[in-house]
Amino acid sequence: MQRVTTYISWEIAEGTRLLVEEIPHLHGIHGVLEVRGQTMTRLREEVTARMPRAEEARYLQIPSGVPVLDSLYTSVDQHGIAYVLTRFVLRADLGAL
């Protein structure tokens, strides 16, 4: 089980229909933004292991003592600008890297 949160500035996301339940492009968020001229050319990933916050433990139904893997993906466009930030928090006992 995992929880995924994506951050995109409103300046970039406005008018893209990214707030609908299903992303309106075969290639997801990056496909929608590429149509608008913002192409991902690089991805930076930072991974840490930590104990879950109380709310994460409840949401992911994590037993006491089980850590999470916290993975932060930063998408960088063709101009070298970070434009999408996605955080994956997954149970370390049910996931692997």
Give the per-residue pLDDT at 29: 87
Task: Give the SS3 label for residue 96.
Answer: coil
Give the per-residue pLDDT at 19: 76
Give the per-residue pLDDT at 87: 96
**Residue 31 structure tokens:** 């496909």
Rounded to two decimals, the pTM is 0.81
Give the per-residue pLDDT at 67: 97
Give the per-residue pLDDT at 28: 85
User: Which one has a higher pLDDT value, 23 or 75?
Assistant: 75
Rounded Cα–Cα distance for residues 57 and 9 (Å): 28
